[in-house]
Structure 1
Amino acid sequence: MLTKVIEQAKIDRFARWMGHAERIVIVAHVAPDGDAIGSSLGLWHFLNSQDKVANVIVPNAFPDFLRWMPGSKDVLLYDRYKEFADKLIVEAEIICCLDFNALSRIDAMADAIKAAKGKKILVDHHLYPEDFCDITISHPNISSTSELVFRLICRMGYFNEITKEGAECIYTGMMTDTGGFTYNSNNREIYFIISELLSKGIDKDDIYRKVYNTYSESRLRLMGYVLSNMQVYPDYHSALISLTKNEQGRFNYIRGDSEGFVNIPL
């Protein structure tokens, strides 16, 4: 069993919104990572199961190693389709803000989201959330926004409506935001959630392979180069890695090639 982390009043309010809404937009932060895309698509799949017209909009492109995720081809990139995205945002009855705590984290989308008349809900696990939504579900003690999305769906009574595809997305978000469950993942409830996601038919080993074991030769060589230049400061228990645009160019860099590098010195 899961503890009731999210306040019941907030869950009930969002459920009422959802019951009366048809058009819903989901937005996530700039340079979306596994949790941003995983939580967004996890919620998107659920809303589709409820016959809602839902769209995921992110400020810019996400890493190629996340493009296997079910529904990823339907994610709208704001920097490429601004006019169409702005229309969807204006028309949205509900806007779900996932995995960011401030409007500045959605870059060029900020003005459109701020001006939108639709009801707004924030679901996030970062510290110090700004007050820009009607409902704020913020729990920094939770490992990932994807976990919060799972909890929200279940607390509304819709566990049975989570599809295999939605479960794959939620699991991916939980996995990537904990480094494959190697940090920030000692809460035993995380593993209860994993068991529930497994009951949906996901193959967690295959998901791990797709995310972590499908690197290109260029990415591997880039990683080696970055680590070979790492500076360590023992007195401060710290390390520093850097990567310039010129250096990226030497290794045929594509978006996402440096994803996760920042965690290696940990």
Structure 2
Amino acid sequence: MQDIISFKKILDKPKRIVIVPHVNPDADALGSCLGLASVLKKKGHEVKVISPTDYPEFLHWMKGNDEVMIYNAGNEKAGKDIIDQAEIIFCLDFCALKRADKMEEPIRNAAATKVLIDHHHGKEDFADFECWNTKAAATCELIYQLVVDMDERQLIDKHVAEALYAGVMTDTGSFRHPNTTKHVHEVVAELIDLGADVSKVSKLVYDNNSLNRLRFIGFALSERLEILKEYNTAYFAISAEDLSKFSSRTGDTEGLVNYALSIVGVTMAAIIIEREDAVKLSFRSVGDFPVNELAAKHFEGGGHKNAAGGISHVGIKETVQKFLELLPEYKKQLHKNQKKQELYLT
């Protein structure tokens, strides 16, 4: 936070506060929201977490989950009223208001002081206060540091520590990604010291599958995984019919793209999913190949260099075709990156 003194001053007295994650929140988005909400409530603030959409059931264990309002679940009017009356709005784990989906305009037009806390590229200048660091591994890492900088570390209890740990754990790929820095380990050590049960959190996030989800993953791996050796690329194309066949719920496709990325010789992986409103894309890469640039240029998206997302407003077949037609443009870059990875691993 650039002006921590002024920021602390606006929180000196109880305020009406709204905290918002990005659309389809993951563990980092929800963990940072609920962790911060708990800290602010202890300081006497009136806090409401409003999510643009719902999120996976394997995140429902976080304390405060039962009080989260889902904006697009018939709560548009009530949610807008709360936003209009808010004195402070925190936008967590996103840095462009379009990532708030249908909440974009209510937030943009609100008179409240706006606070951005995030680690993604593509920042929009809409906030009065910013805690924005693209080198941070997770927004939960930034929330922990901000609370410490505010001299409020004592307000982080076991539940807050576990919510923040979940975000750091998932956004570092269980501490496997290159964003796992010395500072990340120091923050995690502090969260453990504050009561985070890392074994419990890991089990709740990763080992909490429904039978339908496991069957869906098996189906996707056997029937929908395509490998394009020429382009060091692998992808899944999942139709609405596929999702319906396995009664898929929010979060059931989470992490599937990583199976494709784990294949020897694959530099970039993608999952293309047919949803009700549009076709959603998620990209992953290793090394220096920037999937955020590909997503931004061709699919109205963005994110991190090695993890990004996008959207398409044509059908899934047309979207897959567009993706395939792009690959020749990136062939040399993908091949070069794969060679660098092979040297790195020797």
- Normalising by structure 1, we get a TM-score of 0.94
Partner of 1:193: 187
Partner of 1:63: 56
Partner of 2:160: 166
Asked if structure 2 preserves the Cα contact closer than 8 Å seen for 1:89 and 1:116, the reply is yes
Partner of 2:116: 122
Task: Point out where structure 2 has 5 or more consecutive residues left out of the alignment.
Answer: 262-346
- Aligned-residue sequence identity (percent) comes to 37
Residue 236 (1) aligns with residue 231 (2): yes
User: Which of 252, 256, 259 lines up with 2:254 in the alignment?
Assistant: 259
- RMSD of aligned residue pairs (Cα, Å): 1.2
Per-residue deviation, residues 157-195 of structure 1 (Å, max 9, x unmatched): 111111111111111111111222221443011111111
Asked if structure 2 preserves the Cα contact closer than 8 Å seen for 1:101 and 1:129, the reply is yes
Shift of 1:91: 1.1
Residues 14-53 of structure 1 aligned to structure 2 (within 5 Å)? 14-53=7-46
Higher relative contact order structure (alpha carbons within 8 Å, sequence separation ≥ 6):
1
Per-residue deviation, residues 27-70 of structure 1 (Å, max 9, x unmatched): 01111111110110010111011111011001111101100111
User: Which of 133, 138, 150 lines up with 1:139 in the alignment?
Assistant: 133
Shift of 1:21: 4.4
Judging by fraction of residues, say which structure has more strand: 2
Per-residue deviation, residues 87-108 of structure 1 (Å, max 9, x unmatched): 1111111100001121111111
Residue 220 (1) aligns with residue 214 (2): yes
Asked if structure 2 preserves the Cα contact closer than 8 Å seen for 1:38 and 1:172, the reply is yes
Residue 150 (1) aligns with residue 144 (2): yes
CA distance in 1, matches of 2:183, 2:238: 37
Give SS of 1:264's match: helix
Select the structure of larger CA radius of gyration.
Answer: 2
CA distance in 1, matches of 2:26, 2:180: 22
CA distance in 1, matches of 2:203, 2:45: 32
Task: Point out where structure 1 has 5 or more consecutive residues left out of the alignment.
Answer: 1-5
CA distance in 2, matches of 1:13, 1:265: 46
Asked if structure 2 preserves the Cα contact closer than 8 Å seen for 1:99 and 1:125, the reply is yes
CA distance in 1, matches of 2:99, 2:70: 15
Amino acid at match of 2:238: L
CA distance in 2, matches of 1:133, 1:97: 9
Shift of 1:235: 3.1
Asked if structure 2 preserves the Cα contact closer than 8 Å seen for 1:59 and 1:77, the reply is yes
Asked if structure 2 preserves the Cα contact closer than 8 Å seen for 1:45 and 1:163, the reply is no
Give SS of 1:242's match: strand
Asked if structure 1 preserves the Cα contact closer than 8 Å seen for 2:51 and 2:71, the reply is yes
User: Which of 169, 175, 180 lines up with 2:174 in the alignment?
Assistant: 180
Asked if structure 1 preserves the Cα contact closer than 8 Å seen for 2:93 and 2:120, the reply is yes
Asked if structure 1 preserves the Cα contact closer than 8 Å seen for 2:135 and 2:179, the reply is no
